[in-house]
Amino acid sequence: MFVEPYQLRLMTEADVPSVMNIEKTAYPFPWTEGNLRDCLKRHYYACVLEVGANICGYALMSMAAGEAHVLNICIQPDLQGKGLGRTLLHSLEQTARENKVEMLLLEVRASNKRAIKLYESLGFNELGCREHYYPGRNGREDALVLARQLSYCGHNTTFGNGPIL
């Protein structure tokens, strides 16, 4: 677990260059600066995770019609595996619940076993597969579609193969 103090806050236009540095470091096929700016213009939920004065992670999520879609979530590579991604996901879930979202959805590369393990540990279940969804070095890669049913009224529900917390 990460022990240094960190802060979560809303992403601003001024954060885009720092977020892009992480994006380019973490992904072989990064989002563009235009993608990030479009999310901010559309008022999607966008937050950054800071340690000291340095942004070390970020998350973007759209919400509509009782559903939230995690668009992007990333921790700078040298800090991955320390619980910061889990922290960002908890923030997204809390925001979704506050906005009366019932279902949290995301796509993940089928090869990203580390992320899949994290999502499953947080109650996400596989809904299906989007074939050839992500660009890859040798063609395209499939995405698994994962979902988590949320209960914002204080009751637990089930979805897919297991209980939802």
Q: So what's the pLDDT on residue 138?
A: 87
Q: So what's the pLDDT on residue 96?
A: 96
pLDDT surpassing 50 at residue 165 = no
pLDDT surpassing 70 at residue 157 = no
Please name every residue paired with 47 in a beta bridge, in sequence order, or none if there are none: 10, 59
- The yes-or-no answer on residue 119 being catalytic is yes
Q: Which of 23, 45, 58, 119 is catalytic?
A: 119
- Give 111-133 pLDDT, tens digit per residue: 999 999 999 999 999 999 999 99
pLDDT category of residue 137 using cuts at 50, 70 and 90: confident
Provide the whole-model pTM: 0.87
pLDDT category of residue 4 using cuts at 50, 70 and 90: confident
- Please, which residues have CB within 8 angstroms of residue 48's CB and are 6 or more apart in sequence? 8, 9, 10, 11, 15, 18, 19, 55, 57, 58
Q: Kindly state the average pLDDT of the residues 42-66.
A: 96
pLDDT surpassing 60 at residue 28 = yes
Distance CA 146, CA 142 (A): 13
Q: Which of 50, 67, 107, 126 is catalytic?
A: 107
- The yes-or-no answer on residue 152 being catalytic is no
CATH classification of 6-163 is 3.40.50.410, yes or no?
no
- Give the domain ranges of the chain: 6-163
